[in-house]
């Protein structure tokens, strides 16, 4: 296990379109890593629009205090849209792990890119907006960036009560997708 | 331990500083400050009000101060420009208040969601006329809390509008920190009665039944009188007194943090969010055997000349990276002129400096100085 995603600091970038809950998913990762007992810094970046436009959310996780708060090359990348893939797909560290939605046509050509039906799974669950949590579940199952139980706890803490159940369900489905992928050759 | 956003830390710091009045107008990236205030203040016996614009917001805060409340507002570049009028008014009327400016890329509407440090000169000189100014900044969520709390203390100690400069990244950044518990409704005892004159080097006394204070933006003497011979001289006397008081306390006011300066041959002088990249740049440079340290300024105005000079005497050169095209480097250069050379590194495109970019600029400066050439100023 000497992949980039087991290093310290661990640099996580979550990306997609505005409105896909990218910033929320970053907050969930940060909260879960905090519950793991780590130092965390979460930053967010988006355009001036309320919807659409590129959105990214970054979390730096470390056992030590963190100086530079942003991510230059990510160790772990989640990508929910083509725009985001074009922008950030290549901005990863050697040995990085990327989990990319399978509706992103160009994805899956590079080692370290795991293509999964994140948005389609969320749609099956009745809410495509929970694709962020499907993605998080998959990311956590494959890369082990945080304790899954702390992931669930963080979702309960940060997701509005009316959307809690669908997000938790999406997270579990994502974990299943990730586990299946992690054991498959 | 809790995940706290920079803008939320402003609010808790303000409450710890006794803030019980907020007036504002929403603007990215400062809006969350207003949202938290709207949620927290009414339940704690405070007053929250959304005004029609930024001019009115600061006017309301000034009025609230004279009414006996401890007030603040928060905004970003375009709103900060509008507030200059009343920052001047607060200075002229010696009204304590706190103004937070979360800097974004300007001028004008610029890039609303992207960080900058382009308001550091405006924070000092944006209002017309001469005035004392206290301007602080921060580089972490915990810093934001401490700085805002201290902002209220200083606003009352020196009777000035204290300005706190954040940026779009720090405002929206979350870190896990331990926040001290803030008492549910802090009891603030304001001095009452009119034993001393209302203006000049005397404590701030809000309106009460015992006072007959007239507050005006016109030049005035210690009693508040705006007419008669000698008003101009009186007004200058009050202003000079305020400037001298801040100068006298310069060593207390000038807050900074140093990192690995003990054996440093070179120094990066930085502030705000950029100082975080600078600290990582120092890790990179030290790994290559370069003896470099960091001077991180928390107080920007009054510019801490004595501190930068002390560091300048120990090093061979300085680099100031900042998210503008060369602003705070000007007072830095003038303070250390003849002691050590200063390079500037600036950008105003809405991105942070990476540690690598700062390390490269430092390396370039070192090479130029070591070959004996003059330092180029690539701002």
Domain boundary among B177, B202, B229: B177
Contacts of B342-345 with CB under 8 Å at 24 or more apart are: B342/B269, B342/B317, B342/B318, B342/B375, B343/B317, B343/B318, B343/B319, B343/B375, B343/B376, B343/B377, B343/B378, B344/B319, B344/B320, B344/B377, B344/B378, B344/B379, B345/B319, B345/B320, B345/B321, B345/B378, B345/B379
CA distances from B217 to A134, B59, B195 (A): 59, 12, 23
Domain boundary among B177, B206, B233: B177
Contact B104, B168 (CB under 8 A): yes
Q: How far apart are CA B87 and CA B76, in angstroms?
A: 14
Contact B165, B300 (CB under 8 A): yes
CA atoms within 13 A on the CB side of B5: 21
- The predicted structure's pLDDT at residue B185: 59
Section B104-118 average pLDDT: 96
**Tokens standing for B205?**
């006394």
Section B107-115 average pLDDT: 95
Section B259-288 average pLDDT: 98
Are residues B173 and B26 part of one domain? yes
- The predicted structure's pLDDT at residue B326: 98
Residue B308: name the closest of B281, B286, B337, B288 by CA. B337
Are residues B275 and B135 part of one domain? no
- The predicted structure's pLDDT at residue B90: 98
Section A80-98 average pLDDT: 93
- The predicted structure's pLDDT at residue B193: 61
Q: How far apart are CA B111 and CA B126, in angstroms?
A: 20
Section A158-166 average pLDDT: 95
Q: How far apart are CA B16 and CA B11, in angstroms?
A: 9
Section B294-322 average pLDDT: 98
Q: How far is A180 from chain B (nearest CA, A)?
A: 32
Residue B206: name the closest of B64, B108, B101 by CA. B64
Task: List all residues of chain B from 263 to 292 with a beta carbon under 8 Å from chain A.
Answer: 273, 276-277, 279-280, 283
- The predicted structure's pLDDT at residue B180: 86
Confidence of residue B211 (pLDDT cuts 50, 70, 90): confident
Section B148-167 average pLDDT: 97
Q: Do A42 and B173 touch (CB under 8 A)?
A: yes
Confidence of residue B184 (pLDDT cuts 50, 70, 90): low
pLDDT at B374 over 60: no
Q: Do A48 and B175 touch (CB under 8 A)?
A: no
Domain boundary among B177, B193, B217: B177
pLDDT at B11 over 80: yes
Q: Is B116 on the interface with A (CB under 8 A)?
A: no
Are residues B293 and B151 part of one domain? no
pLDDT at B355 over 80: yes
Q: How far apart are CA B320 and CA B164, in angstroms?
A: 20
Tens digits of per-residue pLDDT, A40-77?
Answer: 999 998 877 666 778 899 999 999 999 999 999 999 99
Confidence of residue B371 (pLDDT cuts 50, 70, 90): confident
CATH at residue B89: 3.40.50.970
Q: Do B3 and A42 touch (CB under 8 A)?
A: yes
CATH at residue B283: 3.40.50.920
Q: How far apart are CA B135 and CA B227, in angstroms?
A: 32
Confidence of residue A4 (pLDDT cuts 50, 70, 90): confident
pLDDT at B190 over 70: no
What are the chain B neighbours of A72 within 8 Å (beta carbons)? 354, 356
Please check whether the domain covering A4-178 is classified as CATH 3.40.920.10.
Answer: yes
Confidence of residue A1 (pLDDT cuts 50, 70, 90): very low
Q: Is A69 on the interface with B (CB under 8 A)?
A: yes
CA distances from A14 to A24, A96, A146, B185 (A): 10, 13, 15, 39
CA distances from A126 to A25, A130, A174, B181 (A): 19, 9, 15, 42
Section A25-52 average pLDDT: 90
Q: Which bin fits B129, alpha (ψ -120 to 50), beta or left (φ > 0)?
A: left
Task: Please state the pTM of the whole predicted model.
Answer: 0.95
Q: Please, what is the average pLDDT of chain A?
A: 92
Are residues B21 and B142 part of one domain? yes
Confidence of residue B364 (pLDDT cuts 50, 70, 90): very high
Q: How far is A143 from chain B (nearest CA, A)?
A: 22
Q: How do strand A10-17 and strand A54-62 relate by DSSP bridges?
A: antiparallel
Number of domains in chain B: 2
Tens digits of per-residue pLDDT, A98-143?
Answer: 999 999 988 877 789 999 999 999 999 999 999 999 999 999 999 9
What are the chain A neighbours of B280 within 8 Å (beta carbons)? 67-68
CA atoms within 13 A on the CB side of B349: 5
Q: Which of A25-39, A92-106, B22-36 has the lowest mean pLDDT?
A: A92-106
Q: Please, what is the average pLDDT of chain B?
A: 94
Section B342-350 average pLDDT: 97
Confidence of residue B195 (pLDDT cuts 50, 70, 90): confident
Query: Which strands, in side-by-side order, build the sheet including B266-271?
Result: B256-259, B292-297, B266-271, B317-322, B342-346
Query: Scanning every residue of chain A, which has its alpha carbon at the shortest distance from the alpha carbon of B170?
Result: A43
What are the chain B neighbours of A58 within 8 Å (beta carbons)? none
- The predicted structure's pLDDT at residue B253: 96
Q: Do A27 and B273 touch (CB under 8 A)?
A: no
Q: Is B308 on the interface with A (CB under 8 A)?
A: no
In a domain, B221, yes or no: no
> What domain range is B305 assigned to?
255-370
CA distances from B18 to A34, B98, B148 (A): 30, 11, 10
Supply the Cα-derived Rg of chain A in whole angstroms.
15
In a domain, B192, yes or no: no
Q: Is B316 on the interface with A (CB under 8 A)?
A: no
Confidence of residue A3 (pLDDT cuts 50, 70, 90): confident
In a domain, B70, yes or no: yes
What are the chain A neighbours of B111 within 8 Å (beta carbons)? 48
Q: How far is B294 from chain A (nearest CA, A)?
A: 12
In a domain, B250, yes or no: no
């Amino acid at each position: 296990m000497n992949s980039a995603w087991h290093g310290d600091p661990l640099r996580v970038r979550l990306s997609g379109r505005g409105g896909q809950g990218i910033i929320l998913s970053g907050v969930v990762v940060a909260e879960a890593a905090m519950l793991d007992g780590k130092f965390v810094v979460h930053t967010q970046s988006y355009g001036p629009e309320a919807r659409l436009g590129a959105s990214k959310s970054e979390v730096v996780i470390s056992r030590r205090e963190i100086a530079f708060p942003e991510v230059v090359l990510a160790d772990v990348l989640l990508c929910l849209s083509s725009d985001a893939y074009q922008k950030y797909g290549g901005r990863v560290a050697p040995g990085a792990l990327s989990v990319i939605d399978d509706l992103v046509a160009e994805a899956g050509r590079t080692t370290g890119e795991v293509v999964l039906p994140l948005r389609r799974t969320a749609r099956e669950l009745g809410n495509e907006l929970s694709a962020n949590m499907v993605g998080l579940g998959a990311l956590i199952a494959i890369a082990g960036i945080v304790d899954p139980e702390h992931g669930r706890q963080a979702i309960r803490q940060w997701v509005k009560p009316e959307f809690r159940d669908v997000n938790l369900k999406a997270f579990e489905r994502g974990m299943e997708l990730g586990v299946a992928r992690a054991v498959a050759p | 331990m809790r995940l706290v956003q920079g803008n939320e830390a402003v609010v808790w710091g303000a409450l710890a500083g006794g803030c019980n009045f907020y007036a504002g107008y929403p603007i990215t990236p400062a809006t969350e400050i207003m949202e938290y205030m709207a949620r927290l203040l009414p339940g704690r016996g405070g007053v929250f009000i959304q005004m029609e614009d930024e001019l009115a917001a600061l006017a309301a805060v000034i009025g609230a101060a004279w009414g006996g409340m401890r007030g603040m507002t928060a905004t970003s570049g375009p709103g900060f420009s509008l507030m200059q009028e009343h920052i001047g008014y607060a200075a002229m009327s010696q009204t304590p208040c706190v103004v937070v400016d979360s800097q974004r890329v300007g001028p004008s509407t610029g890039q609303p969601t992207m960080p900058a440090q382009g308001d550091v000169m405006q924070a000092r000189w944006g209002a017309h006329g001469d005035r004392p100014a206290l301007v602080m900044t921060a580089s972490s969520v915990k810093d934001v809390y401490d700085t805002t709390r201290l902002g209220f203390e200083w606003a009352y100690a020196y009777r000035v509008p204290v300005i706190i400069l954040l940026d779009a990244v720090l405002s929206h950044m979350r870190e896990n920190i331990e926040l001290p518990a803030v008492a549910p409704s802090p009891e603030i005892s304001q001095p009452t009665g009119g034993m001393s004159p209302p203006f000049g080097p005397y404590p701030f006394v809000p309106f009460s039944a015992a006072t007959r204070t007239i507050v005006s933006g016109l030049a005035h003497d210690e009693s508040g009188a705006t007419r008669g011979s000698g008003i101009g001289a009186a007004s200058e006397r009050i202003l000079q007194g305020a400037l001298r008081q801040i100068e006298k306390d310069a060593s207390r006011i000038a807050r900074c943090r140093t990192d690995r300066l003990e054996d440093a041959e070179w120094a990066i002088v930085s502030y705000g969010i950029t100082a975080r990249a600078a600290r990582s740049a120092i890790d990179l440079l030290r790994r290559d055997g370069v003896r470099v340290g960091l001077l991180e300024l928390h107080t920007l105005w009054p510019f801490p000349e004595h501190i930068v000079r002390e560091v300048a005497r120990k090093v061979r050169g300085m680099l100031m990276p900042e998210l503008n095209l060369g602003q705070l480097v000007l007072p830095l250069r003038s303070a250390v002129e003849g002691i050590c050379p200063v390079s500037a590194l600036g950008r105003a495109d809405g991105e942070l400096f990476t540690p690598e970019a700062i390390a490269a600029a430092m390396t370039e400066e070192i090479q130029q100085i070591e070959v004996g050439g003059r330092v180029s100023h690539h701002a």
